[in-house]
Structures are given as C-alpha cells and as structure tokens.
A = this chain, B = another copy of it.
Amino acid sequence: DHVIICGYGHSGRSAAHEAVLRGTPIGQVLIIDQHAENLKAAAEHGYIGLLGDATSEYILTDAGIAQAKAVLICLGRDDAAVLTILTSRHLNPSVRVIASASEEENIKLIRQAGADAIIAPSIVGGYLMADSVESTHVADYINDLMQSDGRVRLIERAVEPEEIGKTMRELGPNLVVRINRGGEHIGFWEGERSRAQPNDRLLEIESSQATDTP
C-alpha cells in the first residue's frame, strides 16, 4: 500500500512532501530516479530510493508496483510518462496512476495511455501568471486553497443525514462549492438540483481558523 514517485525533480519533491502532509507514512514513499544525487536528497528526507529508469518493467517490479496504492509520474518528459503509464498498467491493472504533463497537446495521449489523473503544472503556472497581470487576488486565493498551511482548504466529504434536502447555500458551516452525485457535478446555481441527496459527496471550502463548532 505504498506510493511510488517516478522522478525526484521539483514536482516529484513537492508531491512527496504533500503526500506525507496528507498522512502517507514517510517509509511508504518510494522514489525512482536515474540520478544518484536526487536519490541522496530523497534519502535525506527519509524516503526509500531506487536508482534506475522508471519506464523499465524491471525497476517498477522491483519497486513493488504489484502491491502499490499509487504511482505518481513526474518525469518532466511526456514520452517517458506515456511509457511509464503503459508499463505500470501492464504490471498492475488496478494501481492508481497520476501523471504530470508538460505540454497541453500531450494530455489526450497521456489519458489514452491509462492515467487516472493528469496534472499540467505549466498550464496552471501560465494561468496564474497571466492572472497576476491585473491583480494578485485570484492567484493568491488559489495558492491559499492549495497550501496545507493556508487560511482555507478545499475538501471533499460525504453528506450527513441531517443535511439531506438543504440547498448548497444553506449547508454550513463550510461553503459548499460543488456536489458530486454519481458521476455528475452539480453547481450552486442549479436551484432544486442543488438540494443535498443521500450518497452525495460535497466539495467545500473549509477555514483553517473556523474551530467554533464542537
């Protein structure tokens, strides 16, 4: 039930750090990297390291992919990412595969290769930079949502029985921004459809300071 991180560059380091912040024990994070100096840095943070090429069936098997919970692919090259996804899926059809894409045009290929989730840091970065030309408020808020130590946090949770029938705006104390109902996304603007139903999952903004409720 460990997490394999392929590539210990900037994104891989940040992913490892966040995984630990969210509760993955440090000893359950295994790093694959081709550069010994990156593995040295990983070891200094307490992670297990494996020297080699993440696109290799041999290395992924050695990393225990058959028992892994998730593979995070942060290789910085989309061609290597595609190979690693295909190899990972071949070795463990049910492992969760998350890939970082460098180029927007490769996202569809990475999805086709079988990634469960795709992140594109440079697209996100470009958006936030362009946004900051006029104002920093939007970029600041998104940064805040995404930092574990910020003032606000975006979380997902099950609906509670006493919440059934209330609209998203009536739910509290957090601010509900989306309902996931089956495969559907429901917005706060959708009137009657925005009333909570059993089995709904609520996506909400939580304040780090709001500790008034028992």
Contact = CB atoms under 8 A, between A and B. Distances in A.
Number of copies: 2
A138 B185 CA distance: 12
Interface of A: 3, 9-19, 21-22, 24, 69-70, 72, 74, 96, 98, 100, 102-104, 116-117, 119-139, 141-143, 145-147, 151-152, 154-156, 169, 173, 175, 177-178, 180, 185, 187-189, 201, 203, 205, 207, 209-210, 212
Contact of A210 (B22, B69, B130, B189): B189
Nearest to A122: B10
Given A141-B178, A146-B142, A177-B175, A122 B207 contact: no
22 contacts: A9-B122, A10-B126, A11-B122, A18-B127, A19-B133, A22-B131, A22-B133, A98-B133, A117-B129, A117-B132, A117-B136, A120-B125, A124-B125, A124-B146, A127-B146, A127-B147, A137-B156, A142-B154, A169-B169, A175-B175, A188-B207, A189-B209
